[in-house]
Amino acid sequence: MTDTTDFEAKRDIADIAVERYKQGRLTRRGFIAAMGALGILPALGSKVSAQANEIVVVNWGGTAKDVLEEVLAETYTAETGVPVVIDGSGPSAGKIRAMVESGAVVWDLCDSGAGSAIILEQQGITQPIDYSIVDKSKVLEGTAYNNGVGNYIYSYVLATNPKMLGGNVPQNWADVWNTKDFPGMRTFRKSVRGMLESATMAQGIAPEEVYSVLNTEDGIAAAIAKFRELRENIIVWGSGSDSQNLFLQEEVAIGNIWSTRAHLLKDQMDEGSFQVSFNGGVMAPGIWVVPKDNPAGTEEVMKFIAHAQKPELQVKWLELLGSGPINPAAAPMVPEELARWNPTSPENLATQILYNDEWYAKHQVAAEEMYVDALIN
Amino acid sequence: MGRLNEKVSYWMLVAPALTIMIVFYILPVLGIWEIAFTEPTTGVDNFVKMAESSAVKTSFVLTFRVAAITTLGCLLLGYIVAYSISNFANKFTPLMLALVILPFWVSVLIRSFSWIVLLGRSGLVNDTLRDTGIIDSPLRLMHNEFGVLIAMIHVMLPFAILPMMTNMRGISDAYVKAARGLGASEWTAFWNVYFPQTIPGVMSGALLVFVLSLGFYVTPALLGGGRVLMISEYITYQIQEFLNWGLGSALSVGLLVATALVLLIASRFINLRSALLERK
């Protein structure tokens, strides 16, 4: 299909915006907004010159945007005087790529995922992390890539409602599949992400073996078969808020949900009617990536990442959002009542595995199809 | 003034609606067909994949089953309502009419969420049954096909009632009176004299509900618990989750063709023109 969008007209409006921006009559934020509204960030020529008087950090919006603003941006500005702007418009790999390829980079730092970080690195879209400024030892092992570095952690965890289960709570994934001793409905994600791992562990396979088993066709088939076996007891969650609702309305007593949602549920549910176990959890890291030719310059952004590594800030982040500190040194500073909800406390780290993006790159599409089939057919 | 003038004014009247249909419906649909045959590769790959996937087959069967049961349910309940409103005129008739039309003013989303409040594990229905001691543990009323059917029949009911009612209001009561006068029992008079006259209304109600149900999305997505995966939700899943526009488009083409086939088969047994256009 041919694209009939009038790029000429759009480029013209964009040029006007660029002029304004250069004249200082349009703030950078306004400029980004204008470009976004036109939907033509990629259509832009390389006319925006780098002026490192602020850092634009992009994440996925919502409460996370406000928290990032409060915890990281304001503290950095207070320390260095460099203003930090948080943009919540969602830095998908596609958008970052379009921006870099068009030569009109307006983002300095993006909250991405490991999968995107790997692809963007291969395509040469992102910059290497300068590990002389960013401290490699201050992130969880396995989350420091050449062109991306760990930012926070969220986990797929075993959540339960002890009240509904009469105090008899599943301790591991094998228990979750035991409907005789633990009756009632369970919830799993409407995608294989973080789910096949639990079905594999339910077969008695050790956590560290999970991905090597799943790397075989038999391993995937066995995990899918586990879901076929359990499906009469499964309600599927699509969005994080779905999973939260299912627990709140007591539709399910057991589930494999995100630790960040669990963090909200622990405050919303009655005392003694909600708990999580990180036993057999799957940790997924958020990854910082820096687009090539970012306007604030490499050094400034690296300094900001280093700032974000400070354990006390990461603890605050955990308190407000529930995402776990990527810096293991933060664990001792976590208030006692929060420690067991922290995905990266030493006790919880010991029982979890790290989400394997390479496996997903290879097998996800085929596995998803089989998963849907197992649930409905 | 000749026929030509008449023709011109005819086209002038039709043109705005026709233009809107072509620009905003026919062209996009053609675009979908094109994607189905060209992404990611040109050819019928997407359709082969579709035919081979047992998840797609299950989803198609499920979609048609849910639509068929919804249609039956709507006809049964709707016929009773339409019959009562048309044949027992009293001071409540306007109120009853209003109650039929009222749900149209509330979004499908809200109505589906209301069913969640009613049918949930600790919803109104289960709580009431438990409090009165009829059941010990909550019934599973939603997050399954049953819940989807209840809500869909509710949402679709007005689409069944309105055509049947229009039809029934046009039926003169002289026929039934004559039959009764000639000695037919109340049932015979209804079944042999009244009912056959309502067939066009029933058919247009049935077609309307069935075709709308085939493409239904919101209600099954909310009340199905992810396991009542109707084809429209499957399409969304392909496009949003996997950016698989090719297969997603192929699925919509499949649904469109299947729906057309149903209409074609239906037209062999009932006169579509009289069922849909002439409600007498």
Contacts of B242 in chain A (CB under 8 A): 365, 368
Which ranges of chain B have pLDDT less than 70? 1-3, 89, 241-243, 271-280
Residue A341 covered by a domain: no
Residue A121 covered by a domain: yes
- Whether A148 and A158 map to the same domain: the answer is no
Say whether A255 sits in a helix, a strand or coil.
Answer: strand
CA-to-CA distance for A344 and A278, rounded, in angstroms? 10
Q: What residue ranges in A102-230 does DSSP mark as E strands? A: 109-113, 144-145, 148-160, 186-189
Contacts of A231 in chain B (CB under 8 A): 227
Residue A73 covered by a domain: yes
Task: Return the biggest CA–CA distance within chain A.
Answer: 71
CA-to-CA distance for A76 and B132, rounded, in angstroms? 61
Mean pLDDT of chain B: 88
Structural domain containing residue A244: 154-284+351-376
Is residue A143 within 8 A of residue A276, CB to CB? The reply is: no
Is residue A57 within 8 A of residue A84, CB to CB? The reply is: yes
Q: Which residue's structure tokens are 């999305």?
A: B217
User: How many Å is the Cα radius of gyration of chain A?
Assistant: 22
CATH code, domain with A55:
3.40.190.10
Residue A346 covered by a domain: no
- Whether A189 and A265 map to the same domain: the answer is yes
The first and second tokens of residue B229, run together, are: 């995966």
Residue A270 covered by a domain: yes
Residue A112 covered by a domain: yes
Q: What amino acid is encoded at B91 in this protein? A: K
Residue A184 covered by a domain: yes
CA distance from start to end of chain A: 35
Helix, strand, coil content of chain B in percent (nearest 5): 80, 0, 20
- Whether A21 and A145 map to the same domain: the answer is yes
Contacts of B241 in chain A (CB under 8 A): 191, 368
- Whether A140 and A159 map to the same domain: the answer is no
According to the model, what pLDDT value does residue B268 have? 79
- Whether A315 and A255 map to the same domain: the answer is no
- Whether A217 and A262 map to the same domain: the answer is yes
Could you tell me the domains of chain B? 1-38 (no CATH), 44-276 (1.10.3720.10)
According to the model, what pLDDT value does residue A369 have? 86
Least CB–CB distance from B226: residue in A236, A250, A369? A236
- Whether A227 and A129 map to the same domain: the answer is no
Question: In a mutagenesis test of the B interface, which of A234, A242, A369, A371 is the best target, namely the one with the most B β-carbons within 10 Å?
Answer: A369
Residue A343 covered by a domain: no
CA-to-CA distance for B105 and B83, rounded, in angstroms? 23
Contacts of A254 in chain B (CB under 8 A): none
Is residue B159 within 8 A of residue B73, CB to CB? The reply is: no
- Domain total in chain A: 2
pLDDT tens digits along B109-137: 898 889 988 998 888 999 999 999 888 88
- Whether A241 and A149 map to the same domain: the answer is no
Looking at residue B271, the DSSP 8-state letter turns out to be -
Indicate yes or no: CB of A236 within 8 angstroms of CB of B53.
no
- Which of A2, A28, A1, A26 is CA-nearest to residue A16? A26
Q: What amino acid is encoded at A1 in this protein? A: M
CA A113 to chain B, closest CA, distance in angstroms equals: 16
CA-to-CA distance for A105 and B267, rounded, in angstroms? 59
Between the CA atoms of B73, B79, B81 and B82, what dihedral angle is there, to the nearest 10 degrees? 140
pTM summary value: 0.80
Question: In a mutagenesis test of the B interface, which of A243, A372, A375 is the best target, namely the one with the most B β-carbons within 10 Å?
Answer: A372
- Whether A65 and A147 map to the same domain: the answer is yes
According to the model, what pLDDT value does residue B193 have? 93
- Whether A57 and A30 map to the same domain: the answer is yes
- Whether A133 and A224 map to the same domain: the answer is no
Is residue A292 within 8 A of residue A127, CB to CB? The reply is: yes
- Which of A249, A222, A225 is CA-nearest to residue A235? A249
Q: Is B177 left (phi over 0), alpha (psi -120 to 50) or beta?
A: alpha
Strands A275-289 and A109-113: antiparallel
pLDDT tens digits along A332-349: 999 988 999 999 999 999
Say whether A258 sits in a helix, a strand or coil.
Answer: strand
Which residue in chain B is spatially nearest to A190 when comparing CA positions?
B226
The first and second tokens of residue A36, run together, are: 């976004």
CA A61 to chain B, closest CA, distance in angstroms equals: 19
CA A271 to chain B, closest CA, distance in angstroms equals: 18
- Whether A191 and A48 map to the same domain: the answer is no
Which ranges of chain A have pLDDT less than 70? 1-52
Indicate yes or no: CB of B59 within 8 angstroms of CB of A376.
yes
